[in-house]
C-alpha cells in the first residue's frame, strides 16, 4: 500500500464521517417531527458526499467521477452487495476518446479531374457530426422515391421530403453514413459554429445517446451542384480535430438471486454518477444534486434495502454509469460488457432527478418515461407504486437518458423521475440547497415495495404492440 493510497483512504473516511455528521445535523431539524428515519439519514449522507464540494461536480471522465465511483463502492461493500464489474471488483475503468474540433469541416468530391473543396459555414453547414472522417458514394433520393434499401456507408442527398429531418434519421437507420439536405426544404441557417464530434469508447463505438449519424444542410447553389452529380461520386467529409485519451468509470454490483429457478432473470437498477464538473474557467461547480446524485442515492438505498431483508429470488444488478453527460459512454460499455446476459434482463429501471417534485403530476407520484410503451409501470402500480406517465410530451425523455441505450437493444428499460423542467437543470444552482429532502425520501421510500415485489416475482414485463424502439 503506498502513501498516496493511504492518504486517499483517510481522506475518504474523513469525507464519509463528515457526511454522516452533517446528515445528523441536517436531519436534526426534522427531529421535532420525530426521529429521522434510517432512510432519511442515509440519503442525506449520500447526497452530502456526492453533491458536496469535495466531489467538484463529478465531471464526466475526470478523477472526480472516479471519486464518486469509489464512494459508491464503499456503500455497496457495506451492504454486502457482490462485485460485478466486467474486469472484477466494483469499478470498471473504461478508456474513452474525447474530441475537440479545431477547424471547420471540409466536404470534397471530384468532378472531371477537378477536386472541389467546400467549407463548413460557406457552401454547407454540418448540423450533426458522427465522426471526424466520413466518405462514401453519393446516392440521390427525391421526394417521390419510395423507401428503398440504402447501401451501408452511402452519402445520401435528399432533395426534398415532407419531413426532411425525420426522413434523414430513417436513412441513417438504414445505413447512410451522411445525409445532405437542401436548405430550401430543411430550413435552417448556414452556420459557421463548429460542430461537436461525439466521444467514443476505444472500440470506436459512439455512446448510445450520441449515435444519430451525420447530417448537413447545403446552401441553395450547392444543392444544385450536388443534384447534378452522378450517383456513385465519392463524397468525403473531413473535420480537423484533436483527440484526448482518458478514462471514465462505472460502479457495478449485484445480489445473486436466491431461487435457483429464477436467478437467471435479472433486474437492473441504474443511475448515472457523473455530472458537469467545474466550469472551464475554473469558476463554478456544477454540483448535480438533482442530476443525478438523487438517482444514485435511490439506487444505493434500493441496494441497502434489498440486501438487508431476505435475499431476492431474482438477481438484482446495481449499475452506476460514468459519462452519461458526454453521450452515454458508461452505459454503452455496460451494454457491451454486461454482468448478466442482456436477454436475461427482465427490466432496467433508471433513476434520474428525483430531488424535487414535478408540479405537473399529482403530489406523491413519480413519472415513468415510456409508461405507455410497456406494461411495467401499470403492474408496479398494482403493487404499491405511485408511477404515472411522463407529462412532458415533446421532451423525448425516453430517448434522453441511459435507459435508451438498453432499450435500443430490446431490453425493457425506462426512467423513473420527478424532473419538472426546473430552471436549475445543468446549472451550478442544481445544488443541495435546492433539494426537497422530504420529497426525495418519500420518492425513494415509495419505490421500495414495488421493486422488492418485482425482484421476487416471476412477472416479465413486455412491450406494448408497436412500442418497442
Ligand atoms: Zn444531466
181-222: per-residue pLDDT in tens? Answer: 999 888 888 999 999 888 888 776 666 656 567 999 999 999
Dump strand ranges (E) for 239-386: 241-255, 266-272, 277-278, 285-286, 315-321, 345-351, 366-368
The average pLDDT across 296-300 equals: 98
pLDDT at 61: 94
Distance 392 CA to ligand 1 centre (A): 16
- pLDDT tens digits for 5-28? 445 555 555 555 555 555 555 554
How far apart are the CA of 196 and the centre of ligand 1, in A?
Answer: 18
Q: Give the C-alpha separation, 129 to 105, whole Å.
A: 10
Give yes or no for residue 178 having a pLDDT over 90. yes
For residues 358 and 380, give the distance between their C-alpha atoms in angstroms, rounded to a whole number.
20
- Across the range 323-341, mean pLDDT stands at 92
Distance CA 336, CA 342 (A): 9
276 CA to centre of ligand 1 in angstroms = 8
State whether residue 82 is helix, strand or coil.
Answer: strand
pLDDT tops 50 at residue 30: no
Of the pLDDT bands very low, low, confident and very high (cuts 50, 70, 90), residue 315 is very high
User: Considering the entire predicted model, what is its pTM?
Assistant: 0.82
How far, in Å, from the CA of 292 to the mean position of ligand 1? 7
pLDDT at 31 over 60: no
Beta-strand relationship, 266-272 and 315-321? parallel
pLDDT of residue 213: 79
CA of 82 to the centre of ligand 1 (A): 28
pLDDT at 13: 58
Percent of the chain with pLDDT over 70: 89
15 vs 150, more confident: 150
Radius of gyration, CA atoms only, the chain? 24
Question: pLDDT digit string (tens) for 72-105?
Answer: 999 999 999 999 999 999 999 999 998 899 999 9
Predicted confidence at residue 223, as pLDDT, reads: 95
Average pLDDT over residues 435-441: 96
Q: How many CB atoms are located within 10 Å of the residue 302 CB? A: 23
Cα(305) to ligand 1 centroid in Å equals 26
Closest CA to 370 of 438, 241, 466, 244: 466
Report the C-alpha gap between 68 and 249 in whole angstroms.
9
296: confidence class by pLDDT, cuts 50, 70, 90: very high
Name the percent of the chain lying above pLDDT 90: 69
Distance 247 CA to ligand 1 centre (A): 19
> Counting Cβ atoms within 10 Å, is residue 189 exposed (0-12), middle (13-18) or buried (19+)?
exposed
- Distance (angstroms) between ligand 1 centre and the Cα of 74 equals 24
On whether the CB atoms of residues 349 and 451 are closer than 8 A, the answer is yes
- Of 105-119, 313-327, 404-418, which range is least confident? 404-418
Q: Give the residue, 115 or 19, on which the prediction is more confident.
A: 115
Q: Which residues surround ligand 1, an ion (CB under 5 A)?
A: 291
Distance from residue 325's CA to the centre of ligand 1 (Å)? 6
275 CA from centroid of ligand 1 (Å): 6
pLDDT of residue 151: 86
- CA 274–ligand 1 middle distance (angstroms): 8
Q: What is the pLDDT of residues 372-419, one digit of tens each?
A: 999 999 999 999 999 999 999 878 888 877 788 788 888 999 999 999
Q: Residue 58, SS3?
A: coil
DSSP string, 421-437: --TTTTSTT-SGGG--H
Judge whether 301 and 43 are in contact, CB under 8 Å.
Answer: yes
Measured in angstroms, how far is the CA atom of residue 426 from the centroid of ligand 1?
A: 6
Helices marked H in 112-216: 164-173, 183-186
Give the pLDDT confidence of 261-293 residue by residue, as tens digits. Answer: 999 999 999 999 999 999 988 789 999 999 999
Residue pLDDT, tens place only, 233-251: 999 999 999 999 999 999 9
Calpha distance 274→249 (Å, rounded): 9
Residue 440's pLDDT band, with cuts at 50, 70 and 90, is: very high
What whole-number distance in Å separates Cα of residue 351 and Cα of residue 407?
15
Query: Do 67 and 286 touch, CB atoms closer than 8 A?
Result: no
Q: Identify which of 110, 121, 125 has the alpha carbon closest to the alpha carbon of residue 180.
A: 125
Residue with cell 464530434: 197
Amino acid at each position: 500500500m503506498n502513501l498516496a493510497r493511504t492518504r486517499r483512504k483517510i481522506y475518504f473516511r474523513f469525507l464519509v464521517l463528515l457526511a454522516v455528521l452533517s446528515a445528523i445535523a441536517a436531519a436534526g431539524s426534522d427531529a421535532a417531527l420525530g426521529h429521522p428515519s434510517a432512510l432519511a439519514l442515509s440519503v442525506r449522507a449520500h447526497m452530502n458526499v456526492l453533491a458536496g464540494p469535495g466531489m467538484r461536480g463529478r465531471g464526466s471522465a475526470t478523477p472526480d467521477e472516479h471519486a464518486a465511483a469509489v464512494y459508491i463502492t464503499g456503500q455497496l461493500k457495506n451492504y454486502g452487495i457482490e462485485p460485478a464489474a466486467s474486469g472484477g471488483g466494483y469499478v470498471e475503468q473504461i478508456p474513452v476518446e474525447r474530441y475537440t474540433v479545431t477547424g471547420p469541416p471540409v466536404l470534397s468530391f471530384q468532378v472531371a479531374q477537378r477536386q472541389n473543396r467546400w467549407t463548413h459555414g460557406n457552401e454547407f453547414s454540418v448540423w450533426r457530426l458522427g465522426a471526424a472522417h466520413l466518405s462514401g458514394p453519393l446516392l440521390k433520393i427525391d421526394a417521390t422515391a419510395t423507401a428503398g434499401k440504402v447501401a451501408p456507408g452511402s452519402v445520401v442527398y435528399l432533395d426534398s421530403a415532407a419531413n426532411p429531418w425525420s426522413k434523414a434519421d430513417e436513412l441513417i437507420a438504414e445505413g447512410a453514413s451522411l445525409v445532405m439536405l437542401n436548405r430550401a426544404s430543411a430550413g435552417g441557417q448556414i452556420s459557421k459554429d463548429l460542430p461537436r464530434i461525439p466521444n467514443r469508447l476505444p472500440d470506436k463505438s459512439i455512446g448510445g445517446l450520441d449515435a444519430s449519424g451525420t447530417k448537413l444542410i447545403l446552401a441553395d447553389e450547392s444543392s444544385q451542384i450536388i443534384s447534378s452529380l452522378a450517383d456513385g461520386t465519392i463524397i468525403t467529409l473531413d473535420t480537423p480535430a484533436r483527440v484526448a485519451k482518458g478514462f471514465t468509470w462505472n460502479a457495478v454490483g449485484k445480489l445473486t438471486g436466491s431461487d435457483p429457478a429464477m436467478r437467471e432473470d435479472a433486474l437492473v437498477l441504474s443511475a448515472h454518477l457523473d455530472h458537469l464538473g467545474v466550469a472551464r474557467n475554473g469558476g463554478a461547480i456544477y454540483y448535480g444534486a438533482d442530476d443525478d446524485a438523487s438517482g444514485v442515492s435511490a439506487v444505493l438505498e434500493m441496494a441497502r434495502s434489498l440486501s438487508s431483508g431476505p435475499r431476492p429470488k431474482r438477481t438484482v444488478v446495481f449499475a452506476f454509469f460514468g459519462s452519461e453527460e458526454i453521450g452515454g459512454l458508461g452505459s454503452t460499455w455496460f451494454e457491451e460488457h454486461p454482468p448478466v446476459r442482456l436477454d436475461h434482463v427482465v427490466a432496467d429501471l433508471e433513476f434520474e432527478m428525483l430531488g424535487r417534485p414535478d408540479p405537473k403530476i399529482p403530489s406523491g407520484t413519480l413519472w415513468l418515461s415510456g409508461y405507455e410503451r410497456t406494461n411495467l409501470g401499470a403492474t408496479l402500480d398494482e403493487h404499491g407504486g405511485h408511477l404515472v406517465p411522463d407529462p412532458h410530451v415533446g421532451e423525448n425523455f425516453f430517448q434522453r437518458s441511459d435507459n435508451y441505450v438498453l432499450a435500443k437493444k430490446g431490453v425493457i428499460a425506462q426512467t423513473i423521475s420527478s424532473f419538472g423542467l426546473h430552471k436549475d437543470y445543468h446549472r451550478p444552482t442544481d445544488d443541495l440547497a435546492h433539494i426537497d429532502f422530504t420529497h426525495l425520501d418519500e420518492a425513494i421510500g415509495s419505490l421500495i415495495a414495488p421493486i422488492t415485489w418485482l425482484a421476487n416475482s416471476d412477472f416479465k414485463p413486455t412491450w406494448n404492440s408497436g412500442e418497442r424502439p
